[in-house]
Structure 1
Amino acid sequence: MDQEGQPLLSKEFQQVLLTTASGNNSSWTERTNSNTDGNNAVKHDPTLGQSDIFDLDAQSFDKWVPFLRSSLDESQLEPMIDELENSIEDHFQGLELQLLQDSQMNDKLETSIDEIANIQNMVQDTLSSEISKFQMKLSESSNELIVKKQLYVNNKKISLKISEATILITKVVRILELSSKCQELITERKFFKVLQNLDSLEKLYLQEFKNYNFQFLIEIYNSIPFLQKVTKDECINLIRNSLNLNLGKNLIKAGQEFLTIYKEELLPQWLETRSKMKLANFKFNSPVEISMRDESSMAKLNLNEFFQLDDFHDSIMIFQNLNELNSLFSEFNKEYELRKTKLMYPLIWKKNKTANYQMNSLLRGTGTTPGAPGHDISADDAFTQSLSLSFLQDYFLRILGFLLYDINLNKATEFILVDNNYNSTNEFWDGLMDRLAPYLKYYIDKKLKTEADMITLKDFLCIYVAILENFKLNIEPLYKILISIFKKFCSLSLNAFNDEFQILLNDDDFMPLSINDKTLYEKVLKICWMKEDEHPNLPDPMSEEPFSVTLPFSPLYPMTCTLAKKTYSKLTAFLSTFYRHELHTLNNILVKLMDDIFNDIVNKKIRSKLESTSREEIAQILINLDYFIIAAKEFSNFMTRENILQNPDMEIRLSSIKHLAESRKLAETKLIELIDSKISDILETIEIDWQIREVRKDPDISIIDLAQFLEMMFASTLQNLPYSVQTLLIFREFDSLTRQFMDILLHDTPSIITHDSVMNFEVDINYLESIIPRIFPSTPGVIDSNGYQSPMTPSTPTFPSANGVDAPTLFENNIKSLEATFMELKQCIELLKAQGKDYNEPEIRLRKYSRIRQEDAALLLSKIQPSVPPTDGSNDDDNSTMDSSSIFNSDSANGMDSSTSRIAKFFNRR
């Protein structure tokens, strides 16, 4: 209560107290008077005590309660008491004096004192009696308490022992429960929980019962090692069972599933994407392809879906807790090596120490074994006898499943089982491939026969390589096998080309190709490589005449071009989807194959035909070779542009070009020899009468035969030869012809010849010279960048100019150059006709007889006249006489222009 409220509260409370006190005082006064009037009342009412005089009635006390409660609630009880004391002092001060002055009150007091004394005595007697009784009861109670306390203490000890016994029994029961639980868990194969319970059992025994001699508990405790051993043995059995489950048929299933998803989902998706996005340069399993794979397909390749490895996790934790991981590793490796040995069956291992050592070395990726590189393969070997395409596929699927299992197991166990050897799977794989490589080589060399089987095996192994590559396994050994398959495929393709080409060569008619169908003609132009700007003029489409075009080469050429393109396309298709590595090696194999096709097959087989004695066949072979050289060059350019290395700076040039050119040169030589031989045979039939005295106007019949032969040969048989070859042959043969006639004139004539025979000889020579315009090709083909000229064809009457010189001019120059080959012979005839009269004059000799050597002139003059003594000017004549080469090189002397002179020099004319 605050300071302002406290006096008010005290005042009210005091009023209540005073009211209550006044009532009690009057009551006390009345009691006192009544006692004074009759003391017997008090004596006869023993229940009325002195204290009752001052007792408050309940009604008065109830009036105090609110004030007392308020003070207690406000923690003002002490201040209230102080106020009451002060109030008593204030209100009852002088009351004692008042009472003493009141006689009636004094009388009452005296009476009261006696009564009080009586009461005191009475109280003392009562108290003494009560105290005695109390002491007796207290003594009895104490004794009883002592007895009960003793009973309590005894009971407490018993209870404590019972509690201890209960706890002990509970712990014993716990041990029994743990032991029983271990047995149940072993039965349920929950071995890690078994180990946990055994650990709890051991700790509980050592903590609580180590000092107790409970035999059954000792036996339970002693059974812990046995239960641990049982647990370890069962864990090993679990691992064996897990290996049985995962390394059985599940291996082939896992390998087949992976291969199927790669082959039937990922590969078709990529081929479609590559076609749509024009990504032909990127192969399957390239980084681009991998980045674009469908995630739903990849989700199917989760290894955890194929192999259950929970038993390994439990076993590792159990052996780790037992601190016996080495024991687990030892048992696991023994079992695992056995599984690997069974996995490689039918690769048989010899049952001896050396073979076992070799096998272990193989599994570690080291050492060699029978059948490995450097060892012969026996035909009786079980693996050799089992070799087939289906067997190899199943075998490799089983190996793939194991590799995937091994990878997953090592990753899942954090490589604990392989002693942190992160390359363990690769070591096994490399060792296995060392073992398999000779068998695979044997199979490829001996048993892989058809293209279909090669493609099937190639596709299978290429997808296999892609899977291995994605799991970071070494693909080099298997990729070498793929290269071997490609080599075998190339060899098979080469043999097939050889067989087909031989058939084409045998069926070829060695005649220019005549085509009567425009569609076929256009197809041939697309298939064949033609010379630059060589496009024969087609017949007028409005013409009613049937379509007819004759191409210079025989049917062998377009068919060979088709076959070569088909073979190359087949080989590049073989490589196009999968092969991504060692492209230089593959490109070298491909280039060598095409070189072998053009050289070892086309060139050599055509070259073997040069043994023919038919000029027409040799001529056609020469034409074909000319085009095959073009084909080899164009194929080189094509392979350069489309090289599998995708290298724009790479240049490929087939060496067969050189060999074809050599064969072409040989064909020219062979053709020249045949023509020379024929002309020589004809010349042997010519008989000239040098003693005749009659002049003929017509040439001799033998000369006519010779001219007709030359005209027929050059105008028909050799007309399709390249223009340069025709020119060479014509110059070559006429040069040879004039030389032979020159030899006849100089050496085969008698010592004296008649003037008439010389005139007849001139008629013959002039006739031969007259056929030159008819046999020389007047319409040369186009000279390409390589110096070759396209041949004439019946369907191509005109061609563009050659090397900047139009056709008529070139024709005239060739005619003049060819006529120049007769110059020496004609000068000799003029010398004989003139009988050497003007030969000694230097100016005339240089003008008329520049091509005649001095000794030849002397020999000729000796045949028509007697020897003449030398004159004084003979030395001048000798000095003024020039050799034929000097005269020929002088343009002013023989009237030839510079181009004719260059042609003459090219053919070494004299």
Structure 2
Amino acid sequence: MPSAVDSGDDLYSAVKQITQSSSDSDYIDQLVPVMRDVRYSDRAGHLIQALNQISAERESEIERMCNSNHQEFVSSVNSLLRVREGTVDMTTQILQLNQSIQASTENLAAQKKALVDSRAVRQSIDETSEALNACLDVLRVANQVRDLLLEKNHYAALRSLDELQNVHLKEVGRYKIAEMIERSVPATQRLIANAVMDDLNTWLYRVREASQYLGEVAFYHTDLRRTRHEERMQQDEHFMKFKLNSAMDLVADETDEFDIMNNEEMQTEFDFSPLFECMHIHETLGRSDYFRAEYASNRRKQKDLIIPSSLNLLDDDGSDLSSLLESIAGFAIIEKATIKRTNNFRANVDVDELWDSMCQSMATLITNGLPLVDNDDLLLKIKGRVALFMLTMEKWGYSVKNLYDLLVTLFDKYSDLLKQRFSEDFQEIVSTDDYMPMPINNLEEYDKVVNVSWYTPSQAREQLTFPCVLPFSQMYPLCCIDIRNFLNQIYLFSDDHFQRSTVIDETLKNSLDELLCEKVCQSLVERLSSQYPGQIVQILTNLEHFEIACQELQDLLFQARSSGSATGPVILQATEQFRNAKKTASDRIFELVNSKIDDLIETAEYDWMATRPTTETSNYMQELTRYLSNIMNSVLLGLPTDIKEFIYFDALSHAASAILELPLHESVKRITPAAVTALVTDADFLSSFVDSLNNPILKENLDELVQTVALMATDNSDEFFDMTQRNRKYSKVDREKGAILIEKVMEGAAVAAQTPSRPSDRFGTIGSRFRMG
């Protein structure tokens, strides 16, 4: 076949060279560039022709080779057929083997799959086992928390719960049980908090039950401290300057160690562990503020349970009041102990608020119960318990200033009861007194009376003879005893917290003034209405001694006054009242004496127109001098000399004035010389009586009477109208009265001269019918 492409053509050469490649990869590698060149040069047809030419040449060559080797070719074909048959057998075997291998492979794959599946299951089992163990650990810890709660080991339970939440739950966080337990943690925390609060409430209940005994022990210890303080004051007077609970007292008493919260002897043991545990647990839970508020609320409720609705102050043993004070003291002591044992748990403001509230409630209860108390001894016991309470709580650092008002209230009630009791005593003493000088039978009685009375005897003790009488009546020493008892019992109220302050001083002064003025002085003044001079004189004597006693009391109260701010002397109004009462009594004695004198003088029966003179003293004058002598030596004997002389002076002055009024009476028109003689005789008798008293001052009272009577008896009446003579002889005579009497005497003398022998017509008896007041 002719060649369509020139043998020299490069494309043909390239194709031919390509066909001669030893491997397919070389063939492809060489053919690719030729085909790329043919594609871009539009010579694809030439390439096909070159390939066809090469193919044709190869076929020709094969045919030539086959023609020359036909037999060999046939044998080769036979061989090839046999080979092919063997190849088919081998292919069949290979297929069978392939099927066998494929079956084995499938079996192996199945086994491998089963192995893989078993390994996955085993891994799942392992993981499940690990998860179960982790969950079991979580459940074990959760159960441990519950067991610890049942054992009341709350803090360990809280720690286990914290470990469960922060450690174990994180390990099983992908499991639902973790979510379930995580949701139960807050409830468990609340359960722990409630459980520990239940234990705390139980502890608080026991504390409240033990508070009263704790307060009782505290009072007992304070009483022992007070006894030791008094012993120190007796041994060293310097300690008298310091009160109980003062710094000096605390230093002196510091060797006596006494822990009231834990004392085996007193069996007081307070374990604060429940409180500490509760605090720690709530702090761990982040609920410290809540717990602090809840605890404060519980304590306020317990405080309210301590305070009763009413208080009985009338029982002799004071059990109700003691229980209340002991309970308050125990409660407050526990509060202070809680502050000391904790850090910023209980605020001082809250504790002080509870203290003030309890004190106010206690004071209100006591104040409301006071109207029923009518015994001063019982009230003194109440004050003693309150004072012991104040001393005890002051030692624990509580302020007791708010209780001072309660002490003042108690003191006011106490002083009122004392005043009422002593008022009754004074009234009984005054009403039952015999108003006679007090008889003393022996020296022992005398010493007792002098010791209790404010009395300075005029005679030395060694010179006394018994029996004797004292100037005052029995009421005076009895009243003095009551006054001293009143002072002592008032001062019994004073103590370390209520010393003899201004309140006591003023109350004592006012109460004593009231008792002396109203119950003693006024009662004595009311008895001055008596008609018995002896009783009036004794009342006056008693008043005199009471006045002296008041002066002594003023000095005593001034010395006992404790307030340093008080200045000036102590003045009792009773002193002035007794002084005024003395004047009233003196006036009453004057009135009675003068009334008796008037009665005696009214009995005078002068015959102003008598014609026969008489030298005998009138009966009334004798009775008058006898009365004055008797009253001076008996009734007025017990009076002080100055009062007695003053009464006597007034009596004589009144008698002289009353005698002078007899001739001056308007019914007497004329006075005869005989009547003047009778009047002179009586005046001389009275003058002689006064001379016998040896008191020139008393004699002066009769000057007017003596000079007037002398003027009536004189023959030279003109001297009265001569200034010089009158001043020398008749200086005490009233000018107008003297003139009237001279005129009456002159007229009487004229009448008598005209009828010298006629018997008296008793014209003068008219004057006796007039009673001169």
Q: Name the counterpart of 2:482.
A: 563
> TM-score, normalized by length of structure 2?
0.73
Q: Distance in 1 between matches of 2:726 and 2:277?
A: 121
Letter in 2 for 1:473: Y
Q: Name the counterpart of 1:336.
A: 299
Check conservation: 2:135, 2:177, Cα contact below 8 A: no
* 1:235 Cα deviation after fit: 2.1
Q: Distance in 1 between matches of 2:248 and 2:423?
A: 39
Q: Distance in 2 between matches of 1:324 and 1:457?
A: 45
CA gap of 1:627–1:767, structure 2 versus 1, over 3 A, is same
Residue 683 (structure 1) aligned with residue 601 (structure 2): yes
Give CA deviations for 1:655-695 in whole Å, capped at 9, x if unaligned.
21122222222111111111121111111111211111223
Q: Name the counterpart of 1:661.
A: 579
Q: Distance in 1 between matches of 2:300 and 2:220?
A: 29
CA gap of 1:298–1:487, structure 2 versus 1, over 3 A, is farther
- SS of the residue 1:839 aligns to: helix
Letter in 1 for 2:652: F
The equivalences for 1:236-255 within 5 A come to: 236-248=197-209, 250-255=210-215
Q: Name the counterpart of 1:572.
A: 491
Q: Name the counterpart of 1:271.
A: 230
Check conservation: 2:242, 2:249, Cα contact below 8 A: yes
CA gap of 1:286–1:624, structure 2 versus 1, over 3 A, is farther
Check conservation: 1:690, 1:754, Cα contact below 8 A: yes
Letter in 2 for 1:273: R
Q: Name the counterpart of 1:671.
A: 589
The equivalences for 1:772-783 within 5 A come to: 772-774=690-692, 776=693
Residue 260 (structure 1) aligned with residue 183 (structure 2): no
Residue 292 (structure 1) aligned with residue 266 (structure 2): no
CA gap of 1:168–1:635, structure 2 versus 1, over 3 A, is same
Give CA deviations for 1:547-595 in whole Å, capped at 9, x if unaligned.
34332111221222122112322332332x4443682112222222222
**More displaced, 318-327 or 696-705?**
318-327
The equivalences for 1:671-820 within 5 A come to: 671-748=589-666, 750-774=668-692, 776=693, 815-820=695-700
Q: Name the counterpart of 2:707.
A: 827
Q: Distance in 2 between matches of 1:387 and 1:751?
A: 83
Match of 2:331 among 396, 402, 413: 402
Check conservation: 1:236, 1:331, Cα contact below 8 A: no
Give CA deviations for 1:29-50 in whole Å, capped at 9, x if unaligned.
xxxxxxxxxxxxxxxxxxxxxx
Check conservation: 1:538, 1:549, Cα contact below 8 A: no
Q: Distance in 2 between matches of 1:854 and 1:640?
A: 57
Match of 2:271 among 292, 308, 312: 308
The equivalences for 1:126-525 within 5 A come to: 175=138, 178-205=141-168, 208-210=171-173, 213-248=174-209, 250-263=210-223, 265-278=224-237, 279=239, 283-293=243-253, 295-296=255-256, 298-300=258-260, 306-345=269-308, 347=309, 383=310, 388=315, 389-417=318-346, 420=347, 422-446=348-372, 448-525=373-450
Give the total of aligned pairs: 619
* 1:857 Cα deviation after fit: 2.6
Which structure is richer in relative contact order (CA contacts within 8 A, separation 6 or more)? 2
**Structure 1, unaligned stretches of length 5 or more?**
1-159, 348-382, 777-811, 868-910
Q: Distance in 1 between matches of 2:593 and 2:313?
A: 63
- SS of the residue 2:492 aligns to: helix
Residue 536 (structure 1) aligned with residue 465 (structure 2): no
Q: Distance in 1 between matches of 2:128 and 2:499?
A: 81
Q: Name the counterpart of 2:36.
A: none
Q: Distance in 2 between matches of 1:690 and 1:823?
A: 22
* 1:232 Cα deviation after fit: 1.4
**More displaced, 719-728 or 592-601?**
592-601
* 1:201 Cα deviation after fit: 2.6
Check conservation: 1:181, 1:197, Cα contact below 8 A: yes
**Structure 2, unaligned stretches of length 5 or more?**
1-122, 749-773
- SS of the residue 1:771 aligns to: helix
Letter in 2 for 1:616: G
Q: Distance in 2 between matches of 1:437 and 1:547?
A: 58
Residue 606 (structure 1) aligned with residue 567 (structure 2): no
* 1:282 Cα deviation after fit: 5.0
Check conservation: 1:433, 1:478, Cα contact below 8 A: yes
Check conservation: 1:753, 1:863, Cα contact below 8 A: yes
CA gap of 1:769–1:643, structure 2 versus 1, over 3 A, is same
Q: Name the counterpart of 1:34.
A: none
- SS of the residue 1:514 aligns to: strand
Q: Name the counterpart of 1:844.
A: 725
Q: Distance in 2 between matches of 1:741 and 1:632?
A: 42
Q: Distance in 1 between matches of 2:312 and 2:491?
A: 33
- SS of the residue 1:247 aligns to: helix
- SS of the residue 1:296 aligns to: coil
* 1:717 Cα deviation after fit: 0.6
Check conservation: 1:307, 1:405, Cα contact below 8 A: no
Q: Distance in 2 between matches of 1:595 and 1:243?
A: 55
CA gap of 1:540–1:457, structure 2 versus 1, over 3 A, is closer
CA gap of 1:609–1:283, structure 2 versus 1, over 3 A, is farther
- SS of the residue 1:299 aligns to: coil
The equivalences for 1:625-636 within 5 A come to: 625-636=543-554
Q: Distance in 1 between matches of 2:673 and 2:261?
A: 107
Check conservation: 1:483, 1:586, Cα contact below 8 A: no
Percent sequence identity over aligned pairs: 21
Letter in 2 for 1:574: F
CA gap of 1:451–1:840, structure 2 versus 1, over 3 A, is closer
Letter in 2 for 1:832: M
Check conservation: 1:511, 1:553, Cα contact below 8 A: yes
Give CA deviations for 1:606-640 in whole Å, capped at 9, x if unaligned.
22221211100010000000000111110121121
Q: Distance in 2 between matches of 1:301 and 1:675?
A: 81
CA gap of 1:429–1:611, structure 2 versus 1, over 3 A, is farther
Residue 552 (structure 1) aligned with residue 466 (structure 2): no
Residue 584 (structure 1) aligned with residue 511 (structure 2): no
* 1:698 Cα deviation after fit: 2.5
Q: Distance in 2 between matches of 1:519 and 1:459?
A: 37
Letter in 1 for 2:459: P
Check conservation: 1:530, 1:627, Cα contact below 8 A: yes
Q: Distance in 1 between matches of 2:249 and 2:528?
A: 53
CA gap of 1:662–1:587, structure 2 versus 1, over 3 A, is same
Q: Distance in 2 between matches of 1:635 and 1:413?
A: 57
Give CA deviations for 1:414-460 in whole Å, capped at 9, x if unaligned.
4535xx3x2323322333444444432232221x2334423332221
